[in-house]
Amino acid sequence: MIKEENIRRVEPYVPGEQPNGMDIIKLNTNESPFMPSDMVAIALASMTPDQMRKYPDPEASMLVETIAEYYGVDEDQVFVGVGSDDVLGMAFLTFFNSGKPILFPDVTYSFYDVWANLYKIPFKTIPLDNNFRIKVDDYNQENGGIVIANPNAPTGIELPLDAIEIIIKNNPDSLVIVDEAYIDFGRQTALGLINKYDNLLVVRTLSKSRALAGMRVGYAFGNKELIKAMKDIKYSYNSYTLSAAAIRAGVAAIRDDDYFKQLVKEIVDTREEAKVTLKKMGFDMTNSSTNFLFVTHESMSAKEIFEKLRERDIYVRYFNKPRIDNYLRITIGTKQQMRELYEALEEILAAK
């Protein structure tokens, strides 16, 4: 066997279960419960043999132009990748090379420490307060970069834009990544700040609000110098990361704006109803601005509820981690799925 010293060893990220089956209610990976725009299926079905046999456009120009136009930014302020995980991974590799620790909350998207370990980037986690809120002043210390998910996951809490701006402003020497995977379900994007601050990268995905997790499309906005540096790294890794199919599917999903707005409205409405319903059942929760709720129950442990729901083929996410091991992350499903969830929870809690 090759020498152990040759091999990079990591503790790999464990993604949420992807169970199959007709009767499963899957509220565990924050996918959209709705199908993507019909335009996506049409885009895939109308791919030509030439698009399949030739290498895709390495610039994915069609997608970059569509994103730039939709969001009103310049094309050279847009980076695209294979889901926001690819975009974030490239950003870590490109910008976190100072040797100083990067900062992110102790409770946040669980890939940040995985990437830091993968690329041997020192990091320091900053505790959220007792209500799972980010304390802005804590990010006022020497660092090699900052990563803030906003709204944060799995807490669902959105930090107001003025607080985000303070963090960016206080750290002009480091890159501040604002991971806005869930912003379409929230209030205020930091996108408007990219022309004001050249140390800001705003990362997005089509996986949640555009119902396109299966096609793997993510993107980022930033100052054109930042985007250029990321593109150089991307081209050094793989010139053709986005398939011709992913490019076309992404374009179709973004162009169908009416459908997108309808999906988001439906999920936000269902979320607000769910907050009321679950509170009546004895759940406490953060004020989520996302497509999921982060809940804890007054009398039954999260682990037990998780297991009992699973027995009923209802999958939610349970993290066996410090501070959050009595919480469940529940993705907002369709109204029908949520009704079935409420019924199951009532049974489970009544049987206690």
Enumerate residues 169-228 that contact a copy of itself by CB under 8 A: 172-175, 198-199, 207, 211-216, 223, 225-226
Residue (83 or 156) nearer to a copy of itself, CB? 83
Closest separation between CB of residue 322 and a copy of itself, Å? 21
Residue (1 or 350) nearer to a copy of itself, CB? 1
State how far the Cα of 150 lies from the Cα of 146, in Å rounded to an integer: 12
Q: Are 305 and 325 in contact (CB under 8 A)?
A: no
Among 71, 79, 86, 302, binds a copy of itself (CB under 8 A): 86
Closest separation between CB of residue 26 and a copy of itself, Å? 8
Closest separation between CB of residue 349 and a copy of itself, Å? 29
**Alpha helices (H) in 238-312, listed in sequence order:** 244-255, 257-280, 302-311
Closest separation between CB of residue 90 and a copy of itself, Å? 10
For 286, the enclosing helix (H) or strand (E) is none
Residue (121 or 157) nearer to a copy of itself, CB? 121
Q: Rule CB under 8 A: is residue 1 a binding residue for a copy of itself?
A: yes
Among 21, 23, 39, 55, binds a copy of itself (CB under 8 A): 55
Q: 304 in helix, strand or coil?
A: helix
State how far the Cα of 320 lies from the Cα of 146, in Å rounded to an integer: 25
Q: What residues from 11 to 40 belong to the interface with a copy of itself (CB under 8 A)?
A: 11-15, 18, 26, 29, 31-36, 40
Among 66, 71, 73, 95, binds a copy of itself (CB under 8 A): 95
Q: Rule CB under 8 A: is residue 292 a binding residue for a copy of itself?
A: no
Structure tokens at 87: 């975009």
For 154, the enclosing helix (H) or strand (E) is none
Residue (47 or 68) nearer to a copy of itself, CB? 47
Q: Rule CB under 8 A: is residue 317 a binding residue for a copy of itself?
A: no
Terminal Cα distance for the chain, rounded:
53
Structure tokens at 28: 């565990």
Among 66, 89, 177, 306, binds a copy of itself (CB under 8 A): 89
State how far the Cα of 200 lies from the Cα of 174, in Å rounded to an integer: 9
Closest separation between CB of residue 40 and a copy of itself, Å? 6
CB-side exposure of 87: number of CA atoms within 13 Å?
28
Structure tokens at 185: 């379900």
Closest separation between CB of residue 88 and a copy of itself, Å? 9
Residue (128 or 177) nearer to a copy of itself, CB? 177
**Given the structure tokens 């959220």, which residue do they identify?**
128
Q: What is the x/- site pattern for a copy of itself, positions 112-151, by CB under 8 A? A: --xx-xx-------------------------xx------
State how far the Cα of 334 lies from the Cα of 7, in Å rounded to an integer: 45
Q: Are 274 and 329 in contact (CB under 8 A)?
A: no
Quote the crossing angle between the two packed helices 244-255 and 257-280, to the nearest 10°: 80
